[in-house]
Structure 1
Amino acid sequence: MGQLIAEILPLALGIVFSPLAIMALVAVLVSPRARLNGFAFLLGWGLAVLVVFALGLWLFQVIEVHLFEEPPLWIVIVRLVLGLFLVAAAVWVYRSGQVHVDSMAKATTPGEVVRAAPQLPGWLRAVQSFTFFRTVLLGFGIFALNPVDLTCALIASLDVILAALPEAQTVLVGTGFVVLGILPIAVPTVLVFVRGAAAAPFLGRLRTWIASHTNVLNAALMLVIGVLQLQKALVALL
């Protein structure tokens, strides 16, 4: 089980350091309905992590990939493609991440957050008027439609199935992965729910830290994950 944890920990961290999700959350938490919609975003994000990971477990269990003595060719190809995608994404994130650092650090309203992070959907400018249900969909979509987060969750589910652990250990590792993936959204949301406007200094520091460091950390994590997938694919081919 220790080896499996070591393999999926970088995948969980790839989700933890998701700048797109954190910047979207900050936009929600500086809106007038911060408490209610912050919880809605957390609910949507948590459901997305759980659903995508569980769907991957179910799919790879149905295919019975853990019963093969050697990984079938399609798994090797999937790892190869995902590895190349993550390496390319790491380069793109690192090169483009510095462009909006200053404006992201100074943003104080949802509109400024969106202008500072143009990768966010333009309609996020209207986040202050979002209903609870629409914010749940936002949290779900930010995860489920992000190719990096989606890739990390699916690779983790594949690794869990391939490990062929006893059911109790599989549940334990899977639960840990999901909880870790939810934590970066849960911590600021709970803080705002408990402290309200008094949490503003923390949000300011969080925004500044993200603007200054997250692109480098995210690029590094994607590079590590990508290289690990390429290494596994090449070992299987050779």
Structure 2
Amino acid sequence: MGSVIGDVLPLALGIAISPIPIIAAILMLLSPKAKGTSIGFLLGWVLGIVVAVVLFELLSSVIPASDPDAAKPVAGVIKLLLGLGLLFLAWRQWRSRPRGGAEAALPKWMAAIDTMTTTRGFILGFVLAAVNPKNLLMAVGAGVTIGTAGLEIGEIVVVTLIFVVIAAITVALPVIAYLAASSKMAAPLEALRAWLVQNNATVMAVLLLVIGVVMIGKGIGSF
């Protein structure tokens, strides 16, 4: 089980460090309906991660495995393809980074965050976690790794729980901190938001590059 946790840890960190959901959560915390929308967003974010990783755990568990090594070539091909997909996304992120002191552009949907309800915040969190291509690829990688590792049910639950907690922590911490001390958190959150907006593309490009290379290496090692 320990080796599987080690394999999925970089993927969980890849989701956790993704700047866009963190920026969205901070914008909600700075909005007029901070409490309702941020809690809804956090719940949707956590549920989206759970659904994505568990779905691919179940799908990968049907890969034939008559002996301990039988599933490895299939899982290896999947990991290679996922790694290549992450490298492609890294290349796109790098090309989209602001240059020459230009102001980074945010997705247009973020302009509507001030008017969001709790339900819409929940839906947005779920979509960013389970449908966003970058996070989905990492959830697929984690699901395949866990589902083909031959773990017992209890071990699968523990590894999945660890993955979800780490992947969700960077959205959960600002929400929890703000709800605990809202008057003291506004300025630090605004400073963090500004930094993440300007450096979003660069952070994600480096992150996706590293995880993509790791995934390709694990895919090659499965043969």
TM-score (norm. length: structure 1): 0.82
8 Å contact kept, 1:101–1:212: no
Is 1:163 the counterpart of 2:149? The answer is yes
Equivalent residue for 2:60? 60
Equivalent residue for 2:5? 5
Deviates more, 1:31-40 or 1:189-198: 189-198
Equivalent residue for 1:47? 47
Equivalent residue for 2:25? 25
How many Å separate the matches in 1 of 2:219 and 2:3?
Answer: 18
Residues 1:77 and 1:227: Cα distance change in structure 2 (over 3 Å): same
Residues 1:185 and 1:71: Cα distance change in structure 2 (over 3 Å): same
8 Å contact kept, 2:53–2:140: yes
Residues 1:212 and 1:131: Cα distance change in structure 2 (over 3 Å): closer
How many Å separate the matches in 1 of 2:93 and 2:110?
Answer: 21
3-state secondary structure, aligned to 1:158: helix
8 Å contact kept, 2:23–2:197: no
How many Å separate the matches in 2 of 1:29 and 1:162?
Answer: 39
Once the two structures are TM-superposed, the CA of residue 65 in structure 1 deviates from its matched residue by: 4.8
Equivalent residue for 2:220? 234
Consecutive unaligned residues of structure 2, counting only runs of 5 or more, are none
8 Å contact kept, 1:14–1:222: yes
1:181-236 deviations in Å (ceiling 9; x for gaps): 11111111112212224311120232244246554443233122212232233345
Q: 1:86-97 alignment to 2 at 5 Å?
A: 86-97=86-97
Q: Which residue type is aligned with residue 87 of structure 1?
A: L
Consecutive unaligned residues of structure 1, counting only runs of 5 or more, are 105-115
How many Å separate the matches in 2 of 1:17 and 1:230?
Answer: 20
8 Å contact kept, 1:60–1:161: yes
Superposition RMSD on alpha carbons, in Å? 2.4
Is 1:176 the counterpart of 2:162? The answer is yes
Deviates more, 1:41-50 or 1:2-11: 2-11
Deviates more, 1:75-84 or 1:95-104: 95-104
8 Å contact kept, 2:72–2:222: no
Q: Which residue type is aligned with residue 15 of structure 2?
A: I
8 Å contact kept, 1:65–1:162: no
Is 1:145 the counterpart of 2:131? The answer is yes
How many Å separate the matches in 2 of 1:184 and 1:213?
Answer: 16
Matched positions, count: 222
Equivalent residue for 2:37? 37
Residues 1:66 and 1:35: Cα distance change in structure 2 (over 3 Å): farther
3-state secondary structure, aligned to 1:97: coil
Once the two structures are TM-superposed, the CA of residue 136 in structure 1 deviates from its matched residue by: 0.7
Deviates more, 1:123-132 or 1:2-11: 123-132
Equivalent residue for 1:109? none
Residues 1:97 and 1:164: Cα distance change in structure 2 (over 3 Å): same
3-state secondary structure, aligned to 2:148: helix
Q: Which residue type is aligned with residue 124 of structure 1?
A: M
Whose helix proportion is higher, 1 or 2? 1
1:105-147 deviations in Å (ceiling 9; x for gaps): xxxxxxxxxxx31xx2x24322222121111101111122211
Once the two structures are TM-superposed, the CA of residue 152 in structure 1 deviates from its matched residue by: 0.6
How many Å separate the matches in 2 of 1:35 and 1:141?
Answer: 20
Q: Which residue type is aligned with residue 33 of structure 1?
A: K
How many Å separate the matches in 1 of 2:26 and 2:147?
Answer: 35
Residues 1:100 and 1:43: Cα distance change in structure 2 (over 3 Å): farther
Deviates more, 1:89-98 or 1:34-43: 89-98
8 Å contact kept, 2:76–2:221: no
Residue number among 112, 128, 137 corresponding to 1:126 in the alignment: 112
Deviates more, 1:6-15 or 1:67-76: 67-76
8 Å contact kept, 1:28–1:38: yes
